[in-house]
């Protein structure tokens, strides 16, 4: 949860000056053993800065979505990058100052616990739909993969390999923030666990490339998601591949 005063003072996650997790670790670390730094950063980036469904409801006004003037071509990516950096900074503080660690000395045949007050773990919760190609075509197969990249891989790949999915790099181009070498080291591997919030499934179908005059996160992936297939809504199915 982002404090309203931080949104007004720092422009929220459009700025990096909003890391306040250490207070929580200090005050509650002796009792709280499982920490989640951020819950569903994709939801916050998309719904807050691309299509303005939820606060702070900022997006490009040309999209006619009743939002405060923003830039849906750039700001969702800026916000997601800053969320990853804020998460990684919080994880680093927890790991180095508050998480009890085991130091092993095999030659001396002993070990001891050191650092911090919490024998806990720290992670992040991501969200992801399951995506199925609408038609059995190569283009829709790639569309389904891109849909996962633009929702899950957008955060998971920086956390695991230190860079964004290739599809984002290719389609978003210079609008996608680049991590410095130090930031890659900070972000990559910055978790003890990954939480996954799964709600439903969609079909994906490929769409032609749109004009670059008015880019937006909502169209960058060059696909359309729908729950309606040829016979039944995929969101109503309870089948193994959904999970």
* Residue spans per domain, the chain: 33-242
- Strands, DSSP E only, in 87-168? 101-105, 110-114, 121-127, 130-133
Q: Within 94-228, where are the H helices?
A: 138-148, 154-160, 166-172, 181-187, 217-220
Q: Within 19-74, where are the H helices?
A: 21-28, 41-49
The pLDDT, as a whole number, for residue 25 is 85
| Contact of 156 with 195, CB cutoff 8 Å | no
| Contact of 36 with 21, CB cutoff 8 Å | no
Helix or strand or coil: residue 49?
A: helix
33-242 topology per CATH? TIM Barrel (3.20.20)
The pLDDT, as a whole number, for residue 183 is 97
Provide the whole-model pTM.
Answer: 0.84
Residue ranges for the chain with pLDDT beneath 70? 1-20, 100-118, 210-212, 229-243
Q: Which candidate, 171, 174, 163, places its Cα nearest to that of 142?
A: 171
Give me the helix-helix angle, 75-93 and 41-49, nearest 10°: 150
The pLDDT, as a whole number, for residue 5 is 59
The pLDDT, as a whole number, for residue 111 is 44
Per residue in 30-47, is it b (16+ CB within 10 Å) or e — as a string?
Answer: eeeeebebbebbbebbbb
Structure tokens given for 5: 């005063």
| Contact of 31 with 45, CB cutoff 8 Å | no
The pLDDT, as a whole number, for residue 197 is 96
The pLDDT, as a whole number, for residue 3 is 59
Q: What is the DSSP letter of 37?
A: E
The pLDDT, as a whole number, for residue 112 is 44
| Contact of 129 with 204, CB cutoff 8 Å | no
Measured distance CA(40)–CA(195) in Å, rounded = 9
| Contact of 81 with 103, CB cutoff 8 Å | no
Helix or strand or coil: residue 1?
A: coil
Cα dihedral sign, 168-174-175-179 = positive
| Contact of 214 with 195, CB cutoff 8 Å | no
What is the Rg, in whole angstroms, of the alpha carbon atoms belonging to the chain?
Answer: 20
The pLDDT, as a whole number, for residue 99 is 82
């Amino acid at each position: 949860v982002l404090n309203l005063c931080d949104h007004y003072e720092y422009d929220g996650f459009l700025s990096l000056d909003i890391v306040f997790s250490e207070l929580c670790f200090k005050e509650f670390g002796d009792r709280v053993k499982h920490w989640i730094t951020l819950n569903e950063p994709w939801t916050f980036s998309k719904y807050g800065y691309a299509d303005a469904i939820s606060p702070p409801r900022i997006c490009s006004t040309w999209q006619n979505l009743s939002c405060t003037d923003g830039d849906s071509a750039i700001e969702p990516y800026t916000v997601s990058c800053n969320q990853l950096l804020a998460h990684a900074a919080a994880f680093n503080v927890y790991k180095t100052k508050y998480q009890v660690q085991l130091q092993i000395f095999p030659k001396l045949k002993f070990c001891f616990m050191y650092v911090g007050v919490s024998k806990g773990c720290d992670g992040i919760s991501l969200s992801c739909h399951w995506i199925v190609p609408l038609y059995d075509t190569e283009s829709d197969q790639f569309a389904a993969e891109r849909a996962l990249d633009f929702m899950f891989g957008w955060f998971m790949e920086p956390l695991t390999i230190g860079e964004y999915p290739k599809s984002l790099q290719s389609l978003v181009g210079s609008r996608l923030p680049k991590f410095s070498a130090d930031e890659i080291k900070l972000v990559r591997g910055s978790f003890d666990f990954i939480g996954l919030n799964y709600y439903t499934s969609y079909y994906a179908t490929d769409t032609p490339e749109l004009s670059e005059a008015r880019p937006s996160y909502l169209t960058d992936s060059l696909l359309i998601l729908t729950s309606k297939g040829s016979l039944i809504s995929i969101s109503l199915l309870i089948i193994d591949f959904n999970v």
